[in-house]
Amino acid sequence: MNQCCDIVYQNCNKLDVIQGSYEGGQTLWECTFDLLQYPKQLAGLDVIDMGCGLGLLGIQALKQGAKSVCFQDYNEDTFEQAILPQLKLNNLEENKNYSFVNGDWETLKLQKVDIILASEIIYREEYYPKVEDFIANHLRPDGKCIMINKSYYFGVGGSVAGFKNHLTKLQVVEEETINTKKGVKKSIMKLQLK
């Protein structure tokens, strides 16, 4: 068991990608820690934890008093195997303000929300259209998406610069670069509808 930002968690799997399962979904990717520590007010807001994995961003939203949290991941088994154990560790399993939705970003139709939280979802260039459309389709007119990504994903081609150049429906309204001791730059971006 580990702890970060008043959230207790347990990593369910040491692999980022599970063979035969779209990107795994049960690993805590490192940028999530940075986004957990990034100041954000979530009380009273409707939130989507996009590509949630272990769901720690959504759990943080629940702990801050979010009105509702939708945990979204591609894999159906992520809820039982990854998120539910985290909710139990944080004494939130009885909280009725959350839901879980699985499926591909381009096929989901969810309620519009105030804020979308996402960590490391632009690691492949071919995902850019799906990511942008999902965010644009699920933000309220005054809503924001706060996402964090590594500046570049070696071996798979995604990058912050490439994603920003792709944007047609969203605009970056704020960006902060985080430099790590390992030399990997990360970018926290706030996006909103154009």
At 143-178, the pLDDT tens digits run 999 999 999 988 888 999 999 999 999 999 999 999
Measured between alpha carbons, how far is 94 from 129 in angstroms, rounded to an integer? Answer: 36
Contact partners, residue 53, CB within 8 Å, separation at least 6: 24, 25, 26, 27, 28, 29, 32, 73, 78, 82, 119
Domain ranges (residues) in the chain: 2-10+31-193
Provide DSSP, 30-86. Answer: THHHHHHHS----TT-EEEEET-TT-HHHHHHHHTT-SEEEEEES-TTHIIIIIHHH
As given in the structure block, the two tokens for residue 154 are: 């070696």
HEC assignment per residue over 130-187 = HHHHHHHHHEEEEEEEEEEEECECCCCECEHHHHHHHCCCEEEEEEEEEECCCCCEEE
Measured between alpha carbons, how far is 79 from 136 in angstroms, rounded to an integer? Answer: 25
CATH 3.40.50.150 fits 2-10+31-193, yes or no: yes
As given in the structure block, the two tokens for residue 85 are: 């154990």
Task: Inform me whether the pLDDT recorded for 90 exceeds 80.
Answer: yes
Task: Inform me whether the pLDDT recorded for 129 exceeds 80.
Answer: yes
Measured between alpha carbons, how far is 15 from 32 in angstroms, rounded to an integer? Answer: 16
As given in the structure block, the two tokens for residue 9 are: 């968690």
Residue pair 90/118 in contact by the 8 Å Cβ criterion:
no
Q: What is the pLDDT of residue 29?
A: 74
Residue 24 — pLDDT band, cuts 50, 70, 90?
A: low
pTM score: 0.91
